């Protein structure tokens, strides 16, 4: 590791590893260890705001488990070394805060996710810092009903891991535009319900302007209705994370989308909290 990591430097290959990368987050007050199961830049969705360059439709490749475990062990060991931390992280952020399964594509497209998460958890136990470490899998939720994913999330939940489940909009047409998926409302509800039953589930929602306009009244109402219907149907959503784009999109729609502004996101977060009776965390 030669480069000091910063809040803006999130290159997945910054440490020269295939599967793991460190990110310094001032907000989280420490180093987050990312695990990228999609080094092939393949995802089954194509979000207009996606930051992955050369994104292709597809699934995660077979994962070399010994290599993943070795890299994660090395990075967890490095990130506990005071000399490495002071060389690479600013004061106030010199500790490991979490391990996030989050990469250049959808992690649940990995066909042996249960084995992969098992290896990740074992490596955290053997090489991680003493004490509890937050564990997150960041997902579009579209593959939750695969048997290997269900087994993986059960294991993840047993280790107090959580899932961040993407819901950017409340209608099929809007999700088609923003996420490039034709996944129906009914299937999204079913997957969300299933996910909430398998592990603590946070809804993650990215809001953007489209041709200069933030989500209109009807779009916001549709999103609220979508989540209300899910919750009244039994989905035990833990909370919501509302955020704007932090980095440049690498998709063809990049010029059409933008950040709606911190004040707009804060106001929308307050509107959602009132409407949904859920905690809404705002990361503008």
Which residues of this chain interact with ligand SF4, rule CB under 6 A?
Answer: 43, 45-47, 50, 52, 105-106, 140
For the bound state, the minimum distance from the C-beta of residue 158 to ligand SF4, rounded and expressed in Å, comes to: 26
Contact 67, 264 (CB under 8 A): no
SS3 content of the chain, % helix, strand, coil (to 5): 40, 20, 40
163 pairs with which residues across the strands?
Answer: 137, 201
Helix (H, G, I), strand (E, B) or coil at 43: strand
From the list 223, 225, 228, the residue with the least C-alpha distance to 242 is 223
For the bound state, the minimum distance from the C-beta of residue 34 to ligand SF4, rounded and expressed in Å, comes to: 13
Contact 34, 102 (CB under 8 A): yes
Contact 284, 243 (CB under 8 A): yes
For the bound state, the minimum distance from the C-beta of residue 149 to ligand SF4, rounded and expressed in Å, comes to: 15
Measured from the CB atom, is 63 or 78 closer to ligand SF4? 63
Helix (H, G, I), strand (E, B) or coil at 229: helix
Measured from the CB atom, is 141 or 170 closer to ligand SF4? 141
Distance between the two ends of the chain, CA-based, in angstroms?
A: 30
For the bound state, the minimum distance from the C-beta of residue 133 to ligand SF4, rounded and expressed in Å, comes to: 23
Measured from the CB atom, is 128 or 215 closer to ligand SF4? 215
Measured from the CB atom, is 54 or 277 closer to ligand SF4? 54
Measured from the CB atom, is 88 or 204 closer to ligand SF4? 204
For the bound state, the minimum distance from the C-beta of residue 35 to ligand SF4, rounded and expressed in Å, comes to: 14
């Amino acid at each position: 590791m030669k480069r000091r990591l910063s809040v803006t430097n999130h290159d997945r290959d910054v440490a020269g590893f295939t599967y793991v990368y460190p990110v310094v987050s001032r907000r989280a007050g420490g180093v987050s260890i990312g695990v990228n199961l999609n080094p092939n830049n393949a995802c089954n969705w194509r979000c207009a705001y996606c930051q992955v360059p050369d994104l292709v439709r597809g699934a995660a490749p077979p994962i070399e488990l010994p290599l993943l475990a070795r890299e994660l062990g090395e990075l967890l060991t490095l990130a506990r070394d005071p000399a490495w931390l002071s060389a690479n992280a600013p004061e106030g952020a010199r500790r490991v805060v979490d391990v996030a399964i989050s990469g250049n594509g959808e992690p649940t497209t990995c066909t042996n996710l249960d084995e992969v998460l098992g290896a990740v958890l074992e490596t955290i136990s053997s090489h991680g810092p003493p004490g509890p470490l937050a564990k997150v899998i960041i997902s579009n939720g579209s593959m939750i009903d695969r048997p290997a994913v269900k087994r993986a999330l059960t294991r993840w939940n047993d280790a107090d891991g959580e899932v961040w489940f993407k819901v950017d909009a409340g209608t099929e047409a809007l999700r088609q535009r923003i996420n490039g998926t034709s996944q129906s409302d009914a299937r999204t509800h079913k997957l969300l319900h299933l996910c909430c039953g398998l592990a603590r589930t946070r809804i993650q929602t990215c809001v953007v302007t489209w041709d200069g306009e933030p989500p209109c009244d009807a779009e916001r109402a549709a999103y609220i209705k979508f989540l209300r219907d899910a919750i009244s149907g039994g989905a035990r959503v833990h909370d919501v994370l509302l955020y704007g784009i932090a980095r440049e999109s690498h998709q063809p729609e990049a010029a059409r989308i933008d950040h709606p502004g911190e004040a707009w996101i804060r106001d929308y977060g307050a509107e959602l909290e009132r409407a949904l009776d859920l905690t809404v965390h705002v990361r503008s």
